[in-house]
Structure 1
Amino acid sequence: MTEFEATITGLGHDGRGVARIDGKATFVSGALPGERVLLKYYKRHRHYDDAEIVSVLDASPDRVEPKCRHFSQCSGCSLQHMDSAAQIAAKQQVLADNFERIGKVTPGSWLPPLTDQPWGYRRRGRFSVRYVAKKERVLVGFRDEANPRFVAEIEHCEVLHPALGPKVGLLAELVGGLAAARDIPQIEFAAGDDMIALVFRHMSALSDADRDALIAFGKAHGFAIYLQPGNHSSVHPIWPESPRLAFAVPADDVELEFQPLDFVQVNAGMNQRMLARSLELLDLRPTDRVLDLFCGLGNFTLPIARHAGEVVGVEGEHGLVERAAANAARNGLSNASFRVGNLFDDQRNEPWATQRWDKLLLDPPRAGADKVLEYLPRKGTDRVVYVSCHPASLARDAGILVGKGFRLVSAGVMDMFPHTAHVESIALFERR
């Protein structure tokens, strides 16, 4: 296919460079804004095209050498070739653009970006496993977002917890030696402060020999081994007998236990910083009554309880609510309680939704909190802290809050996923 020159004018939402060719957007993996590159198309579409770099003619000053040797094959960290400071600036720009374009709002001030260690940070995730019959071997890695059938073969991952990152290749060898190698589609991992759990999904019953091999691997490398023969409720440990996963929040003297498939913030170091900033923005008083929506295990709820008079967490998943309540009891927090409620359904008549709350914390998934904002916050709630994993939904919801009499006091990005295009952010709203 014909090669051609182009100048990269921006970054797409997935971290690819964007060039305009005869007015049409062309997305270029591995390209940075300001670069002049030699390209060739590999896929044409009606409204946009995909191209790959043949060579970089004029490199951006923000270009760095990727640390990971699998960078060109694995799509898990699409911005490793971009300087860390430039990554943060790009994410801040994405957030600002979304506020302006979608929410039609501008923060009164920008919070300093929150950052932590850029490598070895990931404590939660899922490996895809694929048996390749032609090669008679197993691949363990991450699926390509553009081509989900493709599993990148990796031996080492620089962003995973350092006890696991160097051993990805060993996992492939382990599964490849099992009789059930063709029937294991994924391995999930979760790291607490003192233990890492591996959950092996298997589509057929495992032989005693396969179980013994998994247990031996766990013992040799210090991993807890779980099996998942069916849905989430089928997950169970086979070594050790009763593993314990937990992480502490030292600043607020709390510890949260969790199960290996529970949602926990991926980046442990950033979670500590995010909690500290959230409490700072909430500006809690001993008499405050606080509502924490989408509370999960109580990641925000329990630290809030150390500073407020009362806090109620609401979450849609029964299991998480049970474990959140158990965490509160374990930490001696009698002023924290939890309710089950699907926050994407209308909950306005629930007792917790009709009460008066001084402050509100929101930490919704990508879809955002617009359904909740149809009936909350009620009169008397003068401060809202919104933690977001998707800038577009935050911007939309910011517009809703401003329309309900709040002002967007401040906002900023939190680098929860270094070297990816994912934008995590936090915003403070006060009633006018």
Structure 2
Amino acid sequence: MKAVHRRSSGARARPRAAERIELRIEELAAGGAGVGRLSGEVVFVPATAPGDLVEVELDRSARPARGKLLRVLSPSEDRIPPPCRFADACGGCDWMHVRVEAQQAAHERIVRQAIARATSLSALPSVRVHPAPRPLGYRSRARLLARAERGEVRVGYRAPRTHAVVAIDRCLVLGDEIAPVVGDLPGLLRGAAGEGDILLARGASGRPVVELLWRGQLPPAVWQRLDERTCGGAWAGARVTLDGAREAASFGDPRPVILGADGLPLRLAPGGFGQPSEEGAAVLARRAAALAHLGSSRPPHVLELFAGSGTLSVLLARGAAPAAALAATGEGAASAVAATTAAAEGAALEAAAPASFTAVELAAEAVACLRQNLGGRGLAGKAVEADADQAPIPARTDVVVLDPPRGGAPGAARAIAASSARVVVYVSCDPATLARDLGVLVRGGFEITDVEVVELFPQTSHIESIVRLSRSRRAAR
């Protein structure tokens, strides 16, 4: 379809009409947009699926060019009707219109391309994909936005590429334990002024816990309703942090609780990091532990960076000897967690139980939960409160496992490359920063042996991946 232009006949030129084009979408990009090409020029078009023929309004001022979807002229086989009535307006599930199998294929390709570009490796291991057990109703944690204006409270997610709140009364990707809370929140916040973030999670006995980070005013009635929901047993707990307040106010027990990968309850820090899916977190922990011990001929000394509350730690620490813990790193280092008797071990991990285990985490509340999760299982190890991206790698370290935030771990990557560690297991939620850090490790003498994608975020462009690296024989010599 040819571009349409308008010409001015007066002294002042009129604005040129928007350029409309037809475009075939070839693939999905990191960030969620579909990718088409116009005479070799790349055009990103959100809300499209691979194979779609679409009409778009072209914006060449952006780099790369962007297209606003006007209509789908011919849908591809990978496009499906989204099951959620809020899907078109809400920015939460940007791939709900894409077939699940196509989502997985896109995740795999994005990870592979990012790693290949950053490392300049022509050959990579095949990518193993772990599908999500449930494409809907899988989330045991969620983050929403609430805004109170002129007596109206809107609760939902941000609209794509804006700060506007798309109000919802239900969310199809939330699990049954926390889904009903969404419809309850506007009434709970009635009379409030301002806005805030709301973190939902599952707490003790499977009941909801709510973390409210509020920027504005909350009337006494809101506090009363929070007290009623926790004292009455509808919620396990709640915590409120007002902007500018020194301390948070807690009701009941606001700590999220998930079922750990070992089948035992795992406590998380209130408002802290946690994977969105309990089943997905278990798959991630099992794979990280298996890859960490893969090929071990002797019990390794294991160091975990960015350990959080211990989602991975409870499997990595199995069988570690209390007296063999690595030296503490950073300020605020804690003494080794005393262990009694080890819990019953899985055969595969028992055979490669670590000689020692040390976990490094910066958030104090997460470290407290980590110690409780290890100690409650009778697991030995050392929990160190320190900045994992700046922590030195102890000399005896054999295996380093890290699960950094979205910004990656550039400092840790440099330290690991300069260390004598033999194996690295890198868990990542961002292919770009993962690939950047892998480039450092590969140039430092490591080889990539395994690449895996765990579908923790079905219906979205977010990607969770695991990469295992081992020290090359040439570098080891």
Kindly report which structure 2 residues correspond to 1:34-183, keeping only aligned pairs within 5 A, or say none.
34-41=51-58, 45-105=61-121, 106-133=123-150, 136-148=151-163, 150-175=164-189, 178-179=190-191, 181-183=192-194
Q: How many angstroms does 1:116 deviate by?
A: 2.5
1:366 aligns with 2:406: yes
Give the aligned partner of residue 282 of structure 1.
292
Q: Which amino acid aligns with 1:196?
A: P
1:199 aligns with 2:211: yes
The separation in 2 between residues aligned to 1:378 and 1:45, in whole angstroms, is 43
2:54–2:74: 8 Å Cα contact kept in structure 1?
A: yes
The separation in 2 between residues aligned to 1:209 and 1:75, in whole angstroms, is 31
Equivalent residue in structure 2 for 1:229, among 242, 249, 257 = 242
2:446–2:471: 8 Å Cα contact kept in structure 1?
A: yes
Give the aligned partner of residue 392 of structure 1.
432
Q: Deviations over 1:178-198 (max 9, x none)?
A: 32x213423222224623211
Give the aligned partner of residue 279 of structure 2.
269
Greater relative contact order structure (CA < 8 Å, 6+ sep): 1
Equivalent residue in structure 2 for 1:6, among 10, 23, 28 = 23
Equivalent residue in structure 1 for 2:386, among 325, 338, 341 = 341
Q: Which amino acid aligns with 2:238?
A: I
1:24–1:47: 8 Å Cα contact kept in structure 2?
A: no
Q: Which amino acid aligns with 1:27?
A: F
The separation in 2 between residues aligned to 1:11 and 1:391, in whole angstroms, is 14
2:140–2:178: 8 Å Cα contact kept in structure 1?
A: no
Q: How many angstroms does 1:328 deviate by?
A: 1.8
Q: How many angstroms does 1:254 deviate by?
A: 4.5
Q: Structure 1 length normalisation: TM-score?
A: 0.88
Kindly report which structure 2 residues correspond to 1:320-339, keeping only aligned pairs within 5 A, or say none.
320-333=366-379, 335-339=380-384
The separation in 1 between residues aligned to 2:24 and 2:384, in whole angstroms, is 53
Give the aligned partner of residue 256 of structure 2.
245
Structure 1 or 2, whichever has the larger Rg, is 2
The separation in 2 between residues aligned to 1:292 and 1:360, in whole angstroms, is 6
1:416 aligns with 2:456: yes
Q: RMSD across aligned C-alpha pairs, in angstroms?
A: 2.5
3-state SS of 2:167 partner:
coil
2:303–2:397: 8 Å Cα contact kept in structure 1?
A: yes
The separation in 2 between residues aligned to 1:360 and 1:88, in whole angstroms, is 28
3-state SS of 2:172 partner:
coil
Q: Which amino acid aligns with 2:386?
A: G
Q: Which amino acid aligns with 2:127?
A: W
Q: How many angstroms does 1:82 deviate by?
A: 0.5
The separation in 1 between residues aligned to 2:113 and 2:307, in whole angstroms, is 28
Q: How many angstroms does 1:308 deviate by?
A: 2.0
1:16 aligns with 2:36: no
2:448–2:470: 8 Å Cα contact kept in structure 1?
A: yes
Q: How many angstroms does 1:101 deviate by?
A: 1.3
The separation in 2 between residues aligned to 1:50 and 1:403, in whole angstroms, is 35
The structure-2 alpha-carbon separation of the partners of 1:152 and 1:19, relative to structure 1 and needing over 3 Å to count, comes to: same
2:236–2:254: 8 Å Cα contact kept in structure 1?
A: no
3-state SS of 1:402 partner:
helix
3-state SS of 1:392 partner:
helix
Q: Deviations over 1:99-140 (max 9, x none)?
A: 11122124233324343321122222321111243xx42210
Q: Which amino acid aligns with 2:257?
A: A
Q: Which amino acid aligns with 1:338?
A: A
Q: Which amino acid aligns with 2:370?
A: A
Once the two structures are overlaid, the 10-residue window that deviates more, 63-72 or 388-397, is 388-397
Q: How many angstroms does 1:88 deviate by?
A: 0.4
Once the two structures are overlaid, the 10-residue window that deviates more, 87-96 or 272-281, is 272-281
1:125–1:190: 8 Å Cα contact kept in structure 2?
A: yes
Give the aligned partner of residue 344 of structure 2.
none
Equivalent residue in structure 2 for 1:259, among 269, 279, 286 = 269
Q: How many angstroms does 1:362 deviate by?
A: 1.5
The structure-2 alpha-carbon separation of the partners of 1:157 and 1:398, relative to structure 1 and needing over 3 Å to count, comes to: same
Q: How many angstroms does 1:63 deviate by?
A: 0.9
Give the aligned partner of residue 312 of structure 1.
358
3-state SS of 1:375 partner:
helix
Segments of structure 2 that go 5 or more residues without pairing to the other structure are 1-17, 319-352, 473-477
The structure-2 alpha-carbon separation of the partners of 1:168 and 1:331, relative to structure 1 and needing over 3 Å to count, comes to: same
3-state SS of 2:309 partner:
coil
Q: Which amino acid aligns with 1:160?
A: L
The separation in 2 between residues aligned to 1:297 and 1:233, in whole angstroms, is 23
Q: How many angstroms does 1:213 deviate by?
A: 2.6
The separation in 2 between residues aligned to 1:2 and 1:375, in whole angstroms, is 50
Identity %: 28
Q: How many angstroms does 1:248 deviate by?
A: 2.8
3-state SS of 2:201 partner:
strand
Once the two structures are overlaid, the 10-residue window that deviates more, 223-232 or 262-271, is 223-232
Q: How many angstroms does 1:212 deviate by?
A: 2.0
Give the aligned partner of residue 341 of structure 2.
none
The structure-2 alpha-carbon separation of the partners of 1:118 and 1:237, relative to structure 1 and needing over 3 Å to count, comes to: same
1:292–1:313: 8 Å Cα contact kept in structure 2?
A: yes
The structure-2 alpha-carbon separation of the partners of 1:57 and 1:230, relative to structure 1 and needing over 3 Å to count, comes to: closer
Q: How many angstroms does 1:46 deviate by?
A: 4.2
The separation in 2 between residues aligned to 1:63 and 1:85, in whole angstroms, is 11
The separation in 1 between residues aligned to 2:199 and 2:108, in whole angstroms, is 31
The structure-2 alpha-carbon separation of the partners of 1:373 and 1:51, relative to structure 1 and needing over 3 Å to count, comes to: closer
Q: Deviations over 1:225-263 (max 9, x none)?
A: 32222469622323x3x4553223253x55422232111
Q: Deviations over 1:122-173 (max 9, x none)?
A: 222321111243xx4221011235112x111111111122233244233223
2:300–2:356: 8 Å Cα contact kept in structure 1?
A: yes
Once the two structures are overlaid, the 10-residue window that deviates more, 48-57 or 91-100, is 48-57
How many residues matched? 416
The separation in 2 between residues aligned to 1:11 and 1:425, in whole angstroms, is 17
Give the aligned partner of residue 466 of structure 2.
426
3-state SS of 2:354 partner:
coil
